Structure 1
């Protein structure tokens, strides 16, 4: 499965586009966090999961060697109800950078002593500091959308891996799995990362209200910590060794397909 540096890189690419999906996303921070959500409660990425939820539940997938999450089922069950229930309150967009800067100024004021005061848009200030019902509901939608995007990405990556395996006369095995995961790790480290989720009060409340299962405050903070470490060690300009199983062409094509499909399917369904 794609590692978190790949999921973050894909989210960065989607959010950089001018499309109906990015215009619909109000809280980029919640959307980015949602792109990590399915892996949180499984217990692989985030330490200290006391009661793991089986992969087949978090990813809507059969327990098979190369599972393909049923992203369409997740969309019908969780995305469509919240997306179509919007009441027009999603009017102020929050960027991840603005949210991070706001939190840093609160907790690390000494860093900004010699900087001139920034004149902020009152709407941005109100939105950033508010945990009003409408704000949290908007973030819940974006978190749910991000979760769907993760499942769609996993589906596409695993479908293409399975096709690649069949085309080259292979079959799932421990040797195949090790080589595949090594290739994914190498590819992921080659992607530059500049967006990292922030454990804001708004995100914490939205995560606790995630419709499929609640994500507690401590898990949000732990997840953000893992995401920060993922970005910290990601080199961006990493020159990987030769892939053991897949290829540069495979990764480039599939990465682009995930981004395009995320955007086009949203436009088609929303």
Structure 2
């Protein structure tokens, strides 16, 4: 039976199926803003359906519609068991898309801005998001991560994470302060995933439903979905959670219907046959 919760940082019990807030304010980074009331309704329904882990960022938004403000408006004062994760590092470029990186001396201001926009005295989890939309690696993160470690020591942050990193960057961060979560594009880096399992670190794939240019294998998903009477999105989420007990899923949406569909994956049980089909391990005609 799949374990449905995870102990984040050894002291915060969260449901492994959470919610990603990027699409609350806009469909894509360069798309038009959504109606704020739609995002507020989605957030409140997510809480009713048992979500207690929301992944957000100060750079999620278009114009006056910002994910953090929607979260505050919809949910504050917050339930005691709600964990809000945010990420800092990316800065908007000339076109408003987060294409630049903050320097170490800019990170405190970004953390303080998230505290204000979310109306919190302490952030549960802050990721240092490294690089752009390309793969991880190729740069040191020590100086920037050390700034976040200082803010954690001051009590502004409870737990730290890193995003879009390789094994060397993960090790670099862990040498400075405990790392409670890694947020990478997918679970393809099996060695890093194994390191997270051993360390008790959550592994949180972003774009879990294949957005951002990462298409899913629709044929395999469709085959299993038809057998189970489920949707391909539900099978994709259930398959992700079956990868490892350390994996958390954060599918995001601005639609109530899609929210209901995504969260129903929590009750989907995949057999060994289903998992073999999804991984392309079964032979035959």
TM-score above 0.5: no
- TM-score, normalised on structure 1? 0.28
Q: Where is the helix percentage greater, Structure 1 or Structure 2?
A: 1
Q: Where is the strand percentage greater, Structure 1 or Structure 2?
A: 2
Higher relative contact order (CA 8 A, sep 6+): 1
